[in-house]
Amino acid sequence: MKPGQSPSASTLNTHLTDETGKECMKSVPLAAISRTSSLADSAPRLEYIISNVPRNTLWAASPLVRRMSSVPPASRRYSSLAPFSLNRLQTAQVVVIGLGGIQRRTLIGGSSSRNLLAHMELTANNNPQSATAQNAFYQALLRANMPEIIVERYQTGRFATSPACESTYLRALERVGQAGKVMAMGGNKAVEGQTGGLNTEQLQAIGQAVAAQSRGGNIALARGKNGSTGTGAKDSPLYVVVEESIGGTIFKWAKFLLYFGLIAYFSLVLVTVGVEATGILKKVGGAQNNEAQPQHQTVRFSDVHGCDEAKEELQELVEFLKNPEKFSSLGGKLPKGVLLTGPPGTGKTLLARAVAGEAGVPFFFMSGSEFDEVYVGVGAKRVRELFNAARAKAPAIVFIDELDAIGGKRNARDAAYVKQTLNQLLVDLDGFSQNSGVVFLAATNFPQLLDKALTRPGRFDRNIVVGLPDVRGRIEILKHHMRNIQISPDVDPTVIARGTPGFSGAELENVVNQAAVRASRSKAKEVTMSDFEWAKDKIMMGAERRSAVIQPKDKVMTAYHEGGHALVAMFTAGADPLYKATIMPRGQALGLTFQLPEMDRVSMAKREYLAYIDVCMGGKVAEEIVYGPDNVTSGGANDLQKATQIAHAMVTQMGMSDELGNVDLDSNYDRLSSETKQNIEKEVRRLVEEGRQRATKLLNSKRKELDLLAEALVEYESLNKDEMERVVKGEKLPDRPSSIPTMPLKLPSALLPPGVGGEGVAGAESGSTASKSDAATPPRPGKGGAKL
């Protein structure tokens, strides 16, 4: 150590000479060291940092340094140092705050230390993109105790950096007392590690792009707090605000609903297919068993009446199943299928239940509506399952009710899956694999709707028609249902059977049940004949509407209307006998005139059809005679409809027109010429008009009887055949209670029709809009009576 030199300066020179030179020269490239001295002279110097040293510090420094002029920071090029030569630096005092207080260190180095530091600065300036050169220069400055130069040089951002440079920069910040900034740099470093080293502008651009892309290309803005630009750090988060338009919002919800609907639909389909395939619901609710248990079948053939022929056919089938050797000894085979057809309520299902009770073999049943569902293939699958179960227990019987639900005629325009169930049924009945010991039993009300391939022999070998019971069948059915009912001695099933032509077995059972219910409601000990008559009238004509408020004038007009029907039916040859006439509202009609044939009919003559047309026109003609043509009401609309239908059928179907002859004009009516259609209309109009003329002639000749019958209907409301005959003869009915209230009703005489007088009977005017008659379809062979 030289005299007059401080220990600090001596230590610094020694350190720069020995250690700094050795370590720093290892990382300096040889090309940078071999550069000319002219580049070193032109590189930036340390003058800037010394020019910024406080004045009192320069005062204590070397006189050479105090006389140096300050150069503004704008004149430097790369380094944070001013462009002066280190060779002219003689003495520099630096104030360092250490543990021992304020120390003054004089930077007086030898030529070797200054040259080394200058070389390292020149190398760093000439290689701004070399992080290694920058780190070597930073290390040299840090060892030279010049952290302020490191901080300023690093913050310019003009020089390359690396983790080593950043670590040196952080150490320099700690030496200058900026520990808080060091912690902030650590947080930014973490954020930068998450964002991939992107700056604020890049983060903002990425946020805008991502937000705009996810929101349908709308405007996206990135902001910090209070409108400032965020950096992404914890204390300065990056806010992305997306401004959506109405169209974008609608599109977003529409897309959501579309995706949700598709997902829900396919999920439902998958769940349903899984349930159908695995049979989970069937397992939870119990396995579906289509086999009739013998202990539950209590119906026998002895309980079936009114269809003896059908019963014999099925009894033969049951006997064949029980003893096949009896029929196969001569080569006979078991029939494959039996088809039961007929009107509703005739006992087709009851016959099948009797077969199940008497067969002594497994009996499988199913309804036609149980096969098909909304999903494709379910119906065919259930047909296979039904027949497989029957084959496993052969010999067996399979019964399908309402066969038309799955066996309808096939159409070329139908989809393929619509015909899968029928195709599977055809294969199971008579396909490539022949069934052994399985008999197919089916029932339908519409045999004309079945496919021809289904009804051919080989699939249905027998077609059994179960028709309406005749009078003897009705008597047996009534006796069967009256077994468990307490009936009075005056009840005669034969009388009830003769009065119910055209009734099915189900309707007869309903008659017996309704009569029993009425007797129980009236607290009677037995069911009387009046109860059966009431039940029969309720089923044929409808329930009485006793609560309906009918004006007296409307009652009088309805009485004349129904009286006209009754008189024409009573005095016209070929008309069905009268059964009952009433002005009590029933169903949709204000009044009814009911006719019943004496016995079951199988055909009708032309004279009977013409008589029916006359009876239909009697109601309107009676109104015209009593009130005049201008006061006729709309009550005869239903009568005109039925008369026109009968006349049209006579002309087009039955060949009962002399002008058109014996030609079928109904099958291809649309293909007829306009001239032929006009002739048909003329004939229909002629038949109806002739019927009206005959009814007018008869009622004009029976005007007195018409008034008597109308008065009796107003007084008693309902009259049967015998009572109407007595009233027409002028006899009284003392045994019948009157329905007229005891208090007299006084009405102006102008409202009373001619021939009607006395108190308690109201007149009538035109304007009635309710139907006064309700006639049934024209009596055809096998049907019952007619309502007018």
Concatenated DSSP letters of 265-284 = HHHHHHHHHHHHHHTHHHHH
The residue assigned the tokens 């395939």 is: 277
Which residues, at least 6 apart from 37, have a Cβ–Cβ distance to it below 8 Å? none
The phi-psi region of residue 527 (left if phi > 0; otherwise alpha if psi is between -120 and 50; otherwise beta) is: beta
Is the distance from CB of 35 to CB of 122 less than 8 angstroms? yes
Is the distance from CB of 124 to CB of 159 less than 8 angstroms? yes
Q: Can you tell me whether residue 777 is helix, strand or coil?
A: coil
CA separation (Å) from 351 to 303, 339, 356, 399? 9, 12, 9, 11
The phi-psi region of residue 494 (left if phi > 0; otherwise alpha if psi is between -120 and 50; otherwise beta) is: alpha
Residue type, 261: G
Output DSSP code: residue 669. G
Question: Is the backbone peptide bond immediately before 734 cis, with ω within 30 degrees of 0?
Answer: no
Q: Give the long-range contacts of residues 158-162, CB within 8 A, separation 24 or more.
A: 158/78, 158/128, 159/78, 159/124, 159/128, 159/129, 159/134, 160/128, 160/129, 160/130, 160/131, 160/134, 161/131, 161/134, 162/131, 162/132, 162/134, 162/135
Q: How far separated are the first and last CA of the chain, in Å rounded?
A: 149
Task: Give the span between the Cα atoms of 310 and 195, in whole angstroms.
Answer: 91
Is the distance from CB of 603 to CB of 781 less than 8 angstroms? yes
Active site residue 562: yes
**Cα 304 from chain centre:** 44
Q: Kind of pairing, strands 462-465 and 337-341?
A: parallel
Pick the catalytic residue from 313, 370, 507, 562: 562
- Report residue 290 as tokens: 């289509």
- Report residue 58 as tokens: 């320069």
Can you list the alpha helix ranges (DSSP code H) found in 287-336?
A: 308-322, 325-328
Looking at the chain, how many residues does it have? 788
Residue type, 198: L
Query: Is residue 542 packed enough to be buried (19+ CB in 10 Å), middle (13-18) or exposed (0-12)?
Result: middle
- Report residue 89 as tokens: 């630096």
Q: Kind of pairing, strands 578-582 and 438-444?
A: unpaired
- Report residue 412 as tokens: 């070329």
Q: Which helix (H) or strand (E) holds 338?
A: strand 337-341
Give the residues across from 347 on adjacent strands. none
Task: Give the span between the Cα atoms of 613 and 607, in whole angstroms.
Answer: 10
Q: Can you tell me whether residue 64 is helix, strand or coil?
A: helix
Is the distance from CB of 204 to CB of 221 less than 8 angstroms? no
Q: Which helix (H) or strand (E) holds 698?
A: helix 674-701
Q: Can you tell me whether residue 453 is helix, strand or coil?
A: helix
Task: Give the span between the Cα atoms of 166 and 21, in whole angstroms.
Answer: 22
Task: Say what the alpha-carbon torsion angle 688, 690, 693, 699 is, to the nearest 10 degrees.
Answer: -80
Output DSSP code: residue 611. H
Positions annotated as catalytic residues are: 562
